[in-house]
């Protein structure tokens, strides 16, 4: 089985990379199971996908709540009988300098980007073990590759997920594929999660100048899913050619 026929749960599917990935995978014949907090946007995305002939369902999901991820995975199994892929994509990036002491933002990034990914893994693994097949795809960031000021905590959460991805891959054996995808600057609503006006102004302008569409990341995720079962794409970095 390549993409067609696979059942893919995607967190953060109400916007940006998650939404673009859901649309592309549904076009390629996957059944997509959308999770995020904003129900109106999930319903919009599901309506668009269904109108184009795609198979889709959604469940309101806060990745900070472990039982929400369990419910998202349960929705996939109820709706489609199995789960083949979980894309842990939900993320926030309220960037700031350390001396701004925006400690609540640090906590929020740890909760959403790191703990949320772990909860996604915890929800999907029992299903993958039962099926003796599965694929975990974690969306990380080039912020963890080239570390720059204001991105310290964000990059730390993403690099923690990178570490988890490699450890999971080693533990997983022959039946579980694990992929990390590192986007560079992508045109999405991520800068809406910036709370520090200084960082927002500086970074939003840079992102706007070079960003590429979310579909570029969706194509990378689709590439990893599309490989034969014995081919595990470990790491994909996709950034604008113009990104420094």
Q: Is 89 in the site for ligand NAP (CB under 6 A)?
A: yes
Separation CA 189–CA 191 (nearest Å):
6
Separation CA 149–CA 61 (nearest Å):
31
Among 26, 56, 139, 236, interactor with ligand NAP by CB under 6 A: 139
- In the complex with ligand NAP, which residue's Cβ is closer, 173 or 200? 200
Residues in 2-31 at the binding interface with ligand NAP, rule: CB under 6 A: 11-12, 14-18
Q: Mark residues 98-117: x for contact with ligand NAP by CB under 6 A, - for none.
A: --------------x-----
Among 23, 33, 63, 221, interactor with ligand NAP by CB under 6 A: 63
In whole angstroms, the minimum distance from the beta carbon of 105 to ligand NAP comes to 13
Q: Is 165 in the site for ligand NAP (CB under 6 A)?
A: no
- In the complex with ligand NAP, which residue's Cβ is closer, 1 or 194? 194
Query: CA nearest 89: which of 194, 173, 197, 190?
Result: 190
Separation CA 117–CA 88 (nearest Å):
6
In whole angstroms, the minimum distance from the beta carbon of 140 to ligand NAP comes to 7
Q: Is 91 in the site for ligand NAP (CB under 6 A)?
A: yes
In contact, 13 and 211? CB cutoff 8 Å: no
Separation CA 197–CA 95 (nearest Å):
10
Q: Is 179 in the site for ligand NAP (CB under 6 A)?
A: no
Query: CA nearest 61: which of 89, 31, 25?
Result: 89
Could you tell me the two tokens for 111?
Answer: 């909760």
Query: CA nearest 9: which of 114, 66, 90?
Result: 90
Residues that bind ligand NAP (CB under 6 A): 11-12, 14-18, 36-38, 41, 61-64, 89-93, 112, 139, 141, 183, 185-186, 188-190, 192-193, 214
């Amino acid at each position: 089985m390549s993409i067609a026929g696979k059942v893919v749960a995607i967190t953060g599917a109400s916007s940006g990379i998650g939404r673009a990935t859901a649309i592309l995978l549904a076009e390629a014949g996957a059944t997509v199971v959308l999770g995020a907090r904003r129900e109106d946007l999930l319903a919009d995305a599901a309506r668009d996908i269904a109108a184009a002939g795609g198979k889709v369902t959604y469940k309101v999901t806060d990745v900070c709540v472990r039982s929400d991820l369990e419910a998202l995975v349960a929705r996939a199994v109820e709706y489609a009988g199995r789960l083949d892929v979980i894309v842990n994509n939900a993320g926030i990036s309220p960037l700031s300098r350390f001396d701004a002491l925006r400690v609540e933002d640090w906590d929020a990034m740890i909760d959403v980007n790191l703990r949320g990914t772990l909860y996604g893994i915890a929800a999907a693994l029992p299903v993958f073990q039962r099926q003796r097949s599965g694929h975990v795809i974690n969306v990380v960031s080039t912020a963890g590759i080239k570390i720059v000021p204001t991105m310290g905590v964000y990059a730390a959460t993403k690099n923690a997920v990178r570490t988890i991805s490699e450890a999971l891959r080693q533990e997983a054996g022959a039946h579980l594929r694990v992929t990390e995808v590192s986007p560079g600057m992508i045109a999405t609503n991520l800068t809406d999660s910036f709370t520090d006006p200084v960082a927002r102004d500086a970074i939003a302008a840079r992102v706007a100048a070079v960003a590429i569409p979310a579909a570029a990341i969706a194509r990378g995720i689709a590439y990893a899913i599309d490989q034969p079962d014995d081919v595990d794409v470990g790491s994909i970095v996709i950034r604008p050619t113009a990104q420094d």
